[in-house]
Chains A and B, each alone.
Chain A
Amino acid sequence: MPRSRVMFLAILGVSMMIMAIIALNNQPITPEEQAERDATATVAARKAVLASTVKIVVSYGTEKRRWLEDATQRFKAQYPNIDVELLGEGSMESYRALSNVVDSSPTYWRNRPLPILWSPGGRIQVALLNTDQGREFATQCKDLVLSPLAFIMWKDRADAFEAFYKDRGGITFDNLEDALSEPKGGRWGEIGGDPNWGLLKVGYANPNESNGGFMFLMGLTYAYLNRTAAATVAELSDPKFAEYARRIAKAISIEPLNSSGVLMDSMMRQGPATYDLVILHEALAIENAQIAINRHGIPLRVVYPKYNLYSEHPMCLIDHPSFTPQQREAAKLYQNFLLSREMQELARVYGYRPSDTDVPLFVEGSPFNDPNIRAMGVSNNIGQTIVQPDGNTLKQILTIWNRAVN
């Protein structure tokens, strides 16, 4: 046989084999086969992750900094090849930055590297981001931990305020407004406190920048509505609501900080001289309970608003072409690690209610059951949980607030 014919037949044979393999691969496969393939791919990706160093950036709402830092240290001990960089940012702030991200750029806001994992304070930021991006830009979200809104106040101040307003429900949005408005003008001497405490100083995070701020805004909105059913655009468009928001904002008059964690740190750092109370997640009070005593010699008190809501702290993968399969795999490993029982139990130490319902809260050995924490007022009775309105209404609340305060 001529040599050229042998060559032709060989090439033909190889081509047919390749085509056969491609054809076989394109055959519909069963879910079992797909799962097997995924598992093989996962194992391969995990091996690749563990074989070479990979870096992932995690953007998170600053309030859960201490838990995440602690958990990340443990993660690094287990996966030394995965370098996790934590980026603490206000949740609304990071939502807006992520809204502007395009496929062609691997950086966002202030030239920082784009995070592959994003954990804002609430699901609301995820909904807002995916609406803005027009797709599941934040995907595979899982709630990490929960924490309800609370008035967090120095005990001596809380006791004095509560005693003064004992016939009107103690520490509530309405009574804060009354205390801060004329004729009392926020003067402690006129609301049952020590005149040397000066003015009643209330801190909240900026609703435009922080999930904690947004929760504060929801808390006062439902205090105005005096019910748990979802707010509607129509009722919030009533000028009476704008006037109510304006009165509260004017009365508080302390410039809000951009994130819950920064605000709580500031309260702990500067003490009752700067903030008598802040309106933030319960977790921040529990986490700082001992710090408050060590640093200022005064315990904290926790009081829940009548109408309350939780922050869910979802953690999502950001769907962006710049991430490598290794990074995606590392991100999933990290996300699952935070949801492991051990890390969920660790979250309790930092004042968070685990999202894993198998991890109990008020039982022997749980920090929530510590008599000192319970004495602060931490309990399962967090008030009546509100029904969150739709995205449009949420945006409307923010718009009305911004008009009222500016």
Chain B
Amino acid sequence: MQKRNFGLRRAGLLLGLIALIVSACSGGGVDPIISTAPSRDAVRVLFTYGSEKDAWVKAVTQTFNASNSRTSSGKLIVVDPQPFGSVESGIDIVEERTQPALWSPASRLTLPVVNEANLNRIGKPLVDEGECRDLVISPTVIMMWRPMAEALGYPEQPIGWSNLLELALSPNGWADYGKPQWGRFRFGHTHPDFSNSGLQSIVTIAYAAAQKQRGLTPEDIAKPEVQQFMRQIEGAIAHYGRSTGFFGDAMGRRGTAYLSAAIVYENVVIEQNSDPQKRNRLEFPVVAIYPKEGTLLNDHPACIPDKPYMTAELREAAELYRKFLLQEAQQRRALEFGFRPADPNIPLTAPFTPENGVDPRQPQTTLAVPSAATIRAIRDLWGQTKRPVNMTLVFDVSGSMRERNRIQNAREGAAAFVDQLGENDRLTLIAFNENQTVVFDNLQVGPNRERIKRDILTLTPGGGTALYDSIAFAIERQQGQLSRDAINAIVVLTDGEDTNSTRFRDATQLMDRFGMNAESPADVSIFTIGYDLEETGLRPLRIIADRGRGAFYEGKVDNIRQVYLDLSTFF
């Protein structure tokens, strides 16, 4: 009996062992939670990358994670893809806010900047540039409405920054080309401190200004004619921003009255023309202009950071994943998302077609990546020549702002926002409930920064909400002091639906009166923050931002500071 029991126990143990082996070897049945919280038997590869290639990365990473790839020691590799701005994601690694095993900014332009920062911090570069592998290619282009490009000679005539400068400087704008209805030339690029395409924009402008294609030096940047060129081109900027995709989408949705052109990646142009939903809402098709002076290719290098947290196992896992991204199947999928595969064996077939506004034979020439010192000089010059902002803060002080610490956090967020503004920016503060109070008017930020913050931090709530009338009040005041040399902007924060307006009953009526007009000599961009609001309260704020050339943000008590900081990238 005892022997039989022993036999049964042994059989049970054997079955258990078999079950264990089968479960360890089987491919399926992985808990989906593992992608965010891997077990001890898994190695997690945090992959941070420029957000422009998010759709491709997410699509192929899903395939990778489903393939149950393992390290040589048998550990499951789980990749956690997280999109960020290219420049800031690199600085985040340098300053040890993130610990990715693989990092892929949009271009190699970012590498000297980030390596220099790491050198200054710990005496060695962050990545070995020679070890980085390019994932996909995408040139930086000027996205323009097709009829506007045709007016400039597209596609027969090569177009460049010099043509755009001429257009930007003309008081007649598009009227010089027989199209007065398009108003003046307005364009946008992202903020170079946050986004790769912004950095690329100012580098290509600097090259064009110096009339060079390589060998750009800090001495070139110091030349008066280069500074003048940069100032004049930047004078046509509508506003800056954090995300390249934002410009693509906003331009597509808002039409010719918003922007004539934006600096984006080639894939953004393809996306606008080929995605049925986006194409249907376009006022006209858009085309990619490859500047005749040359442009930069975004090569999306994937690099393994040289940091102490990179164990041999993590490196192995990161290398396996990177190898996967470079395999033919994943490279072919890049085409779908409008990227040129890094694998040269893959021809540039659809969607790289003239109907989608792109030309795979372009660009004809590229610009050399400048040294870190030159890039620093260009960024400094941009800081001096960028358009200042002439802004009105419209701040809700209605009684409901007393709830849940709203007023305190919103005041602190706004004060932090003021810290981000430049010395020459000008600010007006209108506090509103059922009435409007001008707390201070048109103050230059530089000499008054502390006073401005003090005034903001002492705002006290009480009363109703006349949102639409208060925005109208702010627009009318600002229109009286519009500056062609500045970005004119209104930033509205509110926590409640309108209860007290008498002049305007809703957002549509308000924006029918004050919305975008291509022919106006200067524009006001309206940015809105829906603060701790339900969906019904958010909707009108979206309409106001969209028709007011601005952007909409949703904020909560615990993230309002970050929302204000994000907003500051527009200026």
Q: Which of B158, B294, B344, B364 contacts A295 (CB 8 A)?
A: B344
B344 touching A198, Cβ below 8 Å = no
B138 to chain A, nearest CB (A): 11
Q: Does residue B363 face the partner (Cβ distance < 8 Å to A)?
A: yes
* B346 cross-chain contacts in A, Cβ below 8 A: 295
* A199 cross-chain contacts in B, Cβ below 8 A: 213-214, 365
B214 touching A273, Cβ below 8 Å = no
B339 to chain A, nearest CB (A): 12
Q: Does residue B178 face the partner (Cβ distance < 8 Å to A)?
A: no
Q: Does residue A197 face the partner (Cβ distance < 8 Å to B)?
A: yes
A269 touching B344, Cβ below 8 Å = yes
A181 to chain B, nearest CB (A): 14
* B213 cross-chain contacts in A, Cβ below 8 A: 198-199
Per the 8 Å Cβ criterion, residues 272-309 of B in contact with A are 292, 294, 297, 299
In Å, the complex CA distance between A123 and B192 comes to: 48
* A201 cross-chain contacts in B, Cβ below 8 A: 365
In Å, the complex CA distance between A266 and B312 comes to: 29
A66 to chain B, nearest CB (A): 9
A274 touching B366, Cβ below 8 Å = yes
Per the 8 Å Cβ criterion, residues 253-290 of A in contact with B are 253-255, 257-258, 265-266, 268-270, 272-274, 288
B297 touching A274, Cβ below 8 Å = yes
* A209 cross-chain contacts in B, Cβ below 8 A: 130
In Å, the complex CA distance between A294 and B158 comes to: 24
Q: Who on chain B is nearest to A266 by CB?
A: B134
In Å, the complex CA distance between A295 and B347 comes to: 4
B124 to chain A, nearest CB (A): 14
Q: Does residue A291 face the partner (Cβ distance < 8 Å to B)?
A: yes
A273 touching B347, Cβ below 8 Å = no
Per the 8 Å Cβ criterion, residues 340-364 of B in contact with A are 340, 342-348, 360-364
In Å, the complex CA distance between A268 and B346 comes to: 10
> Most B CB atoms within 10 A — which of A254, A288, A296?
A296
Q: Who on chain A is nearest to B343 by CB?
A: A269
The answer to whether A196 and B345 touch (CB under 8 A), given A273-B297, A273-B364, A273-B366, is: no
B158 touching A196, Cβ below 8 Å = yes
Per the 8 Å Cβ criterion, residues 36-86 of A in contact with B are none
In Å, the complex CA distance between A319 and B368 comes to: 43
B137 touching A270, Cβ below 8 Å = yes
A296 touching B158, Cβ below 8 Å = no
The answer to whether A111 and B312 touch (CB under 8 A), given A254-B214, A258-B130, A295-B348, is: yes
Q: Who on chain A is nearest to B365 by CB?
A: A198
Q: Does residue A297 face the partner (Cβ distance < 8 Å to B)?
A: yes
Contact with B along A226-259 (1 / 0, CB 8 A): 0000000000000000000000000001110110
In Å, the complex CA distance between A297 and B368 comes to: 24
The answer to whether A198 and B312 touch (CB under 8 A), given A254-B214, A270-B366, is: no
Instruction: Report the tally of A-B residue pairs with Cβ distances under 8 A.
Output: 63
Q: Does residue A390 face the partner (Cβ distance < 8 Å to B)?
A: no
Q: Does residue B215 face the partner (Cβ distance < 8 Å to A)?
A: yes
* B347 cross-chain contacts in A, Cβ below 8 A: 294-295
* B365 cross-chain contacts in A, Cβ below 8 A: 196-199, 201, 273
In Å, the complex CA distance between A199 and B213 comes to: 7
Q: Does residue A194 face the partner (Cβ distance < 8 Å to B)?
A: yes
A212 to chain B, nearest CB (A): 15
In Å, the complex CA distance between A268 and B137 comes to: 12
Q: Which of A111, A269, A296 contacts B361 (CB 8 A)?
A: A296
B345 touching A291, Cβ below 8 Å = yes
In Å, the complex CA distance between A387 and B132 comes to: 37
A198 touching B364, Cβ below 8 Å = yes
* A288 cross-chain contacts in B, Cβ below 8 A: 344
B162 to chain A, nearest CB (A): 13
> Most B CB atoms within 10 A — which of A257, A258, A270?
A270
In Å, the complex CA distance between A274 and B158 comes to: 18
Q: Which of B134, B215, B364 contacts A253 (CB 8 A)?
A: B215
The answer to whether A196 and B364 touch (CB under 8 A), given A258-B130, A274-B297, A291-B344, is: yes
Contact with A along B129-146 (1 / 0, CB 8 A): 010001001010000000
B547 to chain A, nearest CB (A): 39
In Å, the complex CA distance between A294 and B347 comes to: 5
In Å, the complex CA distance between A137 and B139 comes to: 46
Q: Who on chain B is nearest to A297 by CB?
A: B361
The answer to whether A273 and B345 touch (CB under 8 A), given A198-B213, A198-B294, is: no
In Å, the complex CA distance between A339 and B361 comes to: 40
Q: Who on chain A is nearest to B290 by CB?
A: A273
Q: Who on chain B is nearest to A272 by CB?
A: B364
Q: Which of A197, A253, A266, A268 contacts B214 (CB 8 A)?
A: A253
Q: Who on chain B is nearest to A296 by CB?
A: B361
B134 touching A269, Cβ below 8 Å = yes
Q: Who on chain A is nearest to B361 by CB?
A: A297
B345 touching A269, Cβ below 8 Å = no
Sorted nearest first, the 3 A-B pairs with minimum C-beta distance are A198-B365, A268-B344, A294-B347
A258-B130, A273-B139 given; 19 more Cβ-contact pairs under 8 Å: A111-B312, A196-B292, A198-B364, A198-B365, A198-B366, A253-B368, A254-B368, A255-B368, A257-B130, A268-B344, A269-B137, A269-B343, A269-B344, A270-B299, A273-B363, A273-B364, A273-B365, A295-B347, A296-B361
28 A-B pairs (CB sep. < 8 Å): A111-B312, A196-B292, A196-B365, A197-B365, A198-B294, A198-B364, A199-B213, A199-B365, A209-B130, A253-B368, A255-B368, A257-B130, A258-B130, A269-B134, A269-B340, A269-B342, A269-B343, A269-B344, A270-B297, A270-B366, A272-B364, A273-B139, A273-B366, A288-B344, A291-B344, A294-B347, A295-B346, A297-B361
